Amino acid sequence: MIERYCDVVYQRMNGKTLIRSLKLEQQPTILNSEEEELMCPKSRAHRKRFILALVVGVSGQVSGINAILFYAKSILLHITQDGILAQRYCFYLGLAQTAVTLLSGLYLDKFGKRTFMLIGQLIILGTLFVLFLVYIIAPKLETLLIAMIFVHIVGFSLSLGPIIWTYISEILKEQAMIIAVIWSLTFLSAISTEILMQKVGFGYLCLIYFVLELLAFLYVYRFML
């Protein structure tokens, strides 16, 4: 109300009203007790929002998306044994991610971020577990492996991809720590994925991501509104 009134009187360029608008603008904002509690870093409500924002941010990093996107060509080349075909699938992965992200953005407000978040995480969990089983038990099922990678990208693009940053900015004003953690995990994922794939294999790496993402999903299901 005050900001809108100030804009009007500035446009009128009236001396008396201009002085009054400046005085109004200098008045301190009065917060109710609930808003004060959310703004206080030591309050329980603020801590709950901070932890939820942290879990939402971390869940995107432990979904396995970085491993798949950073090393898509290597993974697909190992599956298909065809460099040209692997490159073509990488291109299709990028198209799928872009299209689904744009499409989900159109319906986020209609169905709610929580709905998209939980559905997307369930898709991610399902694909990670199937990738683990198939890669360990029947690695020659190339079509199924490639299909699961595409479905995983779809799940991420429906939920974590478009939601993480918007949701964190909605529930938390001070985001520096969350952003630092997310980018630190992105860096660690980039340098550790290849090492882990060499040590334990892509299948067991999917299992590790499955367990971590399951923990994040349970927390989001319990506390995300």
Q: Where are the domains of the chain?
A: 1-30, 43-223
**Residue 56 scores a pLDDT above 90:** no
Instruction: Return the pLDDT at 186.
Output: 81
CA distances (Å), 52 to each of 55, 159, 163, 199, 220, in order? 5, 15, 13, 32, 7
Overall average pLDDT of the 166-175 stretch: 80
Residue 146 vs residue 10, higher pLDDT: 146
How many beta carbons lie within 10 A of that of residue 59, not counting itself?
Answer: 24
Res. 44 pLDDT band, cuts 50 70 90: confident
Res. 40 pLDDT band, cuts 50 70 90: low
Instruction: Return the pLDDT at 210.
Output: 95
Give the pair of three-digit tokens for residue 73: 């060509």
Which CATH superfamily groups domain 43-223? MFS general substrate transporter like domains (1.20.1250.20)
**Residue 24 scores a pLDDT above 80:** no
pTM for the complete prediction?
A: 0.76
**Residue 213 scores a pLDDT above 90:** yes
Instruction: Return the pLDDT at 42.
Output: 62
Overall average pLDDT of the 42-70 stretch: 83
163: amino acid identity, one letter: I
Residue 184 vs residue 125, higher pLDDT: 125
